[in-house]
């Protein structure tokens, strides 16, 4: 069975601080995808990144970076120099590559609040 755990229910930081959102997953599949989605206060879900289990390179996109460590089954998300617009609920998700996104499993989400 697959499971995604986002142990941090809520995080609150002051603007310009760096913040890391944790994601730990469980799967018996040898190949899989990991995702992060953002849900701003307006409610829509926005795709941020997809990572496949073959590629453990970290990725950086502007102020966002993702650290994938297969050895610890983690896919953490760091926001550098946070801004108020980063306030949102962030979801980590997992799906096997073979069976595809119909088996996409989401974590419970982390509510991030950036205070001015």
Partner 1 sequence: DAGITQSPRYKITETGRQVTLMCHQTWSHSYMFWYRQDLGHGLRLIYYSAAADITDKGEVPDGYVVSRSKTENFPLTLESATRSQTSVYFCASRNRGPNSPLHFGNGTRLTVT
Is 29 in contact with 97 (CB distance < 8 Å)? Answer: yes
Query: With binding defined as CB under 8 A, does residue 95 bind partner 1?
Result: yes
Is 99 in contact with 109 (CB distance < 8 Å)? Answer: no
Which one among 91, 94, 112, 114 touches partner 1, defined by CB under 8 A?
91
Nearest residue (CB) to partner 1, 44 versus 61: 44
- Angle at 51 (CA atoms; ends 11, 89), nearest 5 degrees: 25
CA-closest candidate to residue 66, choices 45, 35, 108? 35
Query: With binding defined as CB under 8 A, does residue 50 bind partner 1?
Result: yes
- Build a one-symbol-per-residue string for 60-89: x at contacts with partner 1 by CB under 8 A, - elsewhere: ------------------------------
What is the C-alpha radius of gyration for the chain, rounded to an integer number of angstroms? Answer: 14
Minimum CB–partner distance for residue 78 and partner 1 (Å):
20
Q: In a 3-state reduction of DSSP, which class is residue 102?
A: helix
What is the binding site for partner 1 (CB under 8 A)?
4, 6, 33, 35, 37, 42-47, 50, 52, 91, 95-102, 104, 106-109
């Amino acid at each position: 069975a697959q499971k995604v755990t986002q142990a941090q229910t809520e995080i609150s930081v002051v603007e310009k601080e760096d913040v890391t959102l944790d994601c730990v997953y469980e799967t018996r599949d040898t190949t899989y995808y990991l995702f992060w989605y953002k849900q701003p206060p307006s409610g829509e879900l926005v795709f941020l990144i997809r990572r496949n289990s073959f590629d453990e390179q970290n990725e950086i996109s502007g102020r966002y970076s993702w650290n994938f460590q297969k050895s610890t089954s983690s896919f953490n998300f760091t926001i550098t120099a946070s801004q108020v617009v980063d306030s949102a609920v962030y979801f980590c998700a997992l799906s096997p590559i073979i069976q595809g996104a119909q088996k996409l499993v989401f974590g419970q989400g982390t509510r991030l609040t950036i205070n001015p």
